[in-house]
Structure 1
Amino acid sequence: MKNWPTGVSKELTYRLGKKPLHEYVRENARQTPNKIAYIFYGKEVTWQELDDQADRLAQFLVSQGIQKGDRMGLYMQNCPQYVISHYAVQKIGAIVCPLNPMYKEAELEYLINEIGARGVIAAQELSPMIINLRDKAPTLELIITTNYADYLPPTPTLPLPSELKLEKSIPEQTYDFQKIISDYESLTNHEQIDIDDVALMVFTSGTTGRPKGAMLTYENALFKTAASVHVNGVRGDDRWLAVMPLCHIAGMVMGVNIPVYSNTPCVLLTRFEPETVISAIEQYQVSVWHSIAPMNAGLLNVPGIKERNLSSLRKNLATSFGTPVTAELAEQWKQVTGGCQMYEAAYGLSETHTCDTFMPPDRVKFGSCGIPVYETDLRIVDLDTGEGLPPGKHGEIVIKNPGVFKGYWNRPDATKETLREGWVYTGDIGHISEDGFLYFNGRVKEMIKCSGYSVFPEDVEALMMDHPAIAQVAVIGVPDEVRGESVKAVIVPNKDYVENVTEDDIIEWAKQKMAAYKYPRYVEFRESLPATSAGKVLRRLLKEPSNQ
């Protein structure tokens, strides 16, 4: 364990033993029933309330025929209802399937049918898109809707975004979350759950293709959460701030899992708004938060930031998306906060429940992703031969640890390609330094990273093909100084539309059909796309200028 931080045990011991995290919720409620678990714009939810409400929702799900192994979508922004739903679903052995609240109807139709979801718990403002899928998604039987304001205090302590001011309504043929909690008793028959059962299914492209469900177990979640808590020196008196989306695997670890495992309160915000984040840190004495570097850069530019009191912050785990986590940025942040240490959070991916590495706080190396966490084998292999490479040599990053997923839902070929003898072949290029630090150098796979979000070319292409003017389309990522990368669509138009459609027409259409981070910012028309003799489009050649 080269460069292991001083004061951190070299062996992982689980705080309450090796059991699913919803059992940690229950134990927190037994041991500290009145301790605050989550704070939502001033509304405090205790561990007793969280556990009880998760039990009541679980009982309702059982009454509606939801069983162990069924897939349940969660389609909400960050809110207490999300956390309650996550643990309610897992308490009955069903599988949590996060749905990004930025998804549009066409994307949801594909994803819900891909996993055969039995039900979806959706925020009120998003629910029309789920309701519209009733006739397009044969397995979808149950829709629960919730209004964020149901979990607001009479007098909010922080500025409210627009979706928290929405007047409540309950759409027809849906069930109201608040009424369920009010009307149903706690769960009576507890499902027999094995630590190795699938608990979570997150959507990822793997190395190629449209999104598929990566099957993660209760143990995967427990292991990565516990490892993250212990290597990062989380204390019993810490207070967390969760701004990153809970539907993302990293946001989930930091906002859904770690507060439960560590029995520490967490301030939940639906989105990143600089003034709200600053006020939350000040009011609630937040000590730890997970950010992406552009958030920190944005806060540093807030007028009067040096006069604000951010001194409660002691640790800032940050991720390089668009803006890298540099020594200069970390020093500026340290000065503004009065000493908060900021460094790269981790390297990881959905297939390993993320957080495969961590940064030793006493040996920070900016530009690196840190060193492996507990029980983690991390290798760099030659792209052609698969042979292991020595320090300093660039190759594919492969990982083995107790966080490794079980495979992709109903995708044995994709599973076989990515998961080999317990090793996850990440499709990422990196190298390991002589002193054991991992450096990420790029992606083998053609996934595009836009503002920290993963965009899969095949997914955008499939959605774009619904436009009548498009005969062929290929999607690539192009550099973007602000967003890291942006999506570019290279299109062969149908002959009837050659003179009747513009680049702006396509962009505006796509904007209405896809999540904001995903729709193409650039469009180029061509007469043909470069392809192999078998017809496979060669996207890499599209990054070269057209000769037209």
Structure 2
Amino acid sequence: MRLHPQERIDEYVAAGWWRDDPAWTWDALFRARVAERGDATAVVDPANREALLGTPPRRPSWTELDAEVDRFAGVLHGAGVGVDDVVGTQLPNTVELVVAYLACVRLGAIVSPFPMQYREHELSTLAPVAGLRAFVTVSRFGDRPLADEASSVGGVEVVALDGPVSAAASAPPAVKRHPSDVVTLCWTSGTEATPKGVPRCANGWNVIGEGCAAAPALTADDVILSPFPLVNMAGFGGVLVPWLLTGATLVQHHPFDLPTFLGQIARERVTYTLAPPALLTGMLRAPGLLDSADLSSLRVIGSGSAPLSGWLIREWRDRLGIEVTNFFGSNEGVPLISDQHTVPDPDARAAYFPWFGGPGLTWPNPTSAGVRTRLVDVESGDEVTQPGRPGELRVAGPTIFAGYWSSTTDPFDEQGYYRSGDVFEIAPHDPTLLRYVDRARDLVVRGGMNISPAEIEALLVAHPAVAEAAVVGYPDDVLGERVAAVVVPVDRAAPPTLTDLVETLRAQRIASYKLPERLELADALPRNPVGKILKRELRERLR
């Protein structure tokens, strides 16, 4: 299934940004690494796997992993999965997650990953939108019966992948795929109640993966520790594709546990990992923590999802000899990378990004090739060309997706640029750099997970004691943000409590990370002249 117009594919191939080559598909890249790496370790399970899944951790070689992928592809084929079928997955970061993804790719199917935090509410909402043919998960994860939760959605065959597959029901068929065919269908929270599907092809992902591999200079000798869920831009573009491109060793981690994380770095001799800014700050400030940890193998840490500080980058570099790369991206394909090569000064790297696609600008990072960007004043629609004036970042080129899945929403402007909804400004001191200002949308990012306020608000106002509700984020040193509900009660003398609201939301079977952790009562919500709620004002009040 190719969603990009053929003229665009031809244009990108002719320019050298994409490839018209079956060897550039994910299955072909994987097979090439198997041929090169053979008995070298391909993937390592989380060290605490047995406590989570009841089975011991594994570390298959590339050859062993290839055999597992082939067997599970046969299982999926026996379940009726074929070319362009959408397969939902809800798996922790384990060997089996990689097996499931690559087995789907081998069959020509489309992987649609769902975060582990999703429950029946989210699954039953999104499964029909995706048109799932099958759903791959584990029987249990801790005390959660994931396979039963998925089965309750109905209409989708659930396949439990709890360990290595010893035999396949049938041999997987040989399929021909093009790198412009869709391989993933990820989900974005947006600001709407229902997340939107973001289909992407290998050509689009590989351009981003090349840049994410180039920033830390990854090679086959590297060991990548992946603590972020492999379900979105950070997972696919930042980890999985660089692993496929380089043949490095991938060490899995999930859910996040600091002692396990530090132990894996020391034991596996990890050279590159990812971590949110709040965690990096907390590790620096924890008395004695890093003095007792063995980080001698670690060269680079990738970070993002929230603003970094120059102090943080400088401390990791000067105190520990570890560089921090600042990433900014989205499932739709916005790609900004600020690393020690392009922005060596820590203060600048924390606040600014090289202006990929800026007028007349070129950068060494391969992801920047072909990217075109513009800043647009969201009120007037004027092009922003002067420093210090905020504008929405709009992006076109080989990293950008073709449009939302099964949606009439048009995310592109009149010039064909993707409207990111993210506000930047040209740096006053250097017009080759961009500074991130704020999210135009009102997403709350809690521990790296995007939360749609509109979804929670719609459920809150169903409570009989709630007249109006607004959901916003408030700062937190550990998670970056937590969720606050600002509520106008029906009866000021008998307002709802936080416990009341949380119980109501739990009854809707929503993911726990979306639950409000703070309640503020108000006589009225602040609004602008056209009636829109001023959430910036609410956030300032909560600070």
TM-score range, shorter chain: 0.7 to 0.9
Question: 3-state DSSP class of the match of 1:461?
Answer: helix
2:148 counterpart of 1:131? yes
2:460 counterpart of 1:504? no
Structure 1 residue 45, shift from structure 2 partner: 1.5
Contact 1:404/1:422 (8 A) holds in 2? no
Structure 1: distance between partners of 2:117 and 2:192: 22
Structure 1 residue 203, shift from structure 2 partner: 1.0
Structure 2: distance between partners of 1:91 and 1:499: 59
| Structure 2 residue aligned with 1:102 | 117
| Structure 2 residue aligned with 1:447 | 443
Q: 2:60 aligns with which of 23, 45, 48?
A: 45
Contact 2:90/2:137 (8 A) holds in 1? yes
Question: 3-state DSSP class of the match of 1:430?
Answer: strand
Structure 1 residue 348, shift from structure 2 partner: 1.1
| Structure 2 residue aligned with 1:359 | 339
Question: 3-state DSSP class of the match of 2:369?
Answer: coil
1:13-28 equivalences under 5 Å are 19-28=24-33
| Structure 2 residue aligned with 1:145 | 160
Alignment root-mean-square deviation, CA: 3.2
Structure 1 residue 426, shift from structure 2 partner: 0.4
2:381 counterpart of 1:386? yes
Structure 2: distance between partners of 1:420 and 1:221: 25
Structure 2: distance between partners of 1:399 and 1:96: 25
| Structure 1 residue aligned with 2:323 | 341
1:277-304 residue CA offsets vs partner (Å, 9 max, x unmatched): 2221112211111211222223332635
2:304 counterpart of 1:319? yes
- Which residue type is aligned with residue 131 of structure 1? D
2:408 counterpart of 1:425? no
Question: 3-state DSSP class of the match of 2:125?
Answer: helix
Contact 2:213/2:238 (8 A) holds in 1? no
2:317 counterpart of 1:329? no
Structure 1 residue 305, shift from structure 2 partner: 2.4
Structure 2: distance between partners of 1:197 and 1:83: 20
Question: 3-state DSSP class of the match of 1:118?
Answer: strand
Structure 1, unaligned runs of 5 or more: 1-9, 151-177
1:116-515 equivalences under 5 Å are 116-125=131-140, 128=145, 131-132=148-149, 134=151, 136-138=153-155, 140=156, 142-147=157-162, 150=163, 178=164, 181-184=165-168, 187-206=171-190, 208-300=192-284, 301=286, 303-319=288-304, 321=306, 324-337=307-320, 339-344=321-326, 346-352=327-333, 354-361=334-341, 363-364=343-344, 365=348, 366-372=350-356, 373-392=368-387, 393-412=389-408, 414=409, 416-418=410-412, 421-433=415-427, 434-464=430-460, 467=463, 469-470=465-466, 472-491=468-487, 499=494, 501-510=496-505, 513-515=509-511
Contact 1:507/1:520 (8 A) holds in 2? yes
Structure 1 residue 406, shift from structure 2 partner: 1.6
Contact 1:290/1:317 (8 A) holds in 2? yes
Structure 1 residue 231, shift from structure 2 partner: 4.3
Q: 2:104 aligns with which of 89, 95, 98?
A: 89
2:39 counterpart of 1:34? yes
Q: Name whichever of 16-25 and 374-383 sits farther off.
A: 16-25
Q: Name whichever of 379-388 and 77-86 sits farther off.
A: 379-388
- Which residue type is aligned with residue 308 of structure 1? A
Q: Quick one: structure 1 residues 421 and 65, their matched pair in 2 at CA, closer, same or farther if it must change by over 3 Å?
A: farther
Identity of aligned residues (%): 23
| Structure 2 residue aligned with 1:113 | 128
Structure 2: distance between partners of 1:532 and 1:340: 46
Matched pairs, number: 494
Structure 2: distance between partners of 1:544 and 1:307: 38
Q: Name whichever of 497-506 and 436-445 sits farther off.
A: 497-506
Structure 1: distance between partners of 2:352 and 2:444: 21
Question: 3-state DSSP class of the match of 1:379?
Answer: strand
Structure 2: distance between partners of 1:334 and 1:69: 45
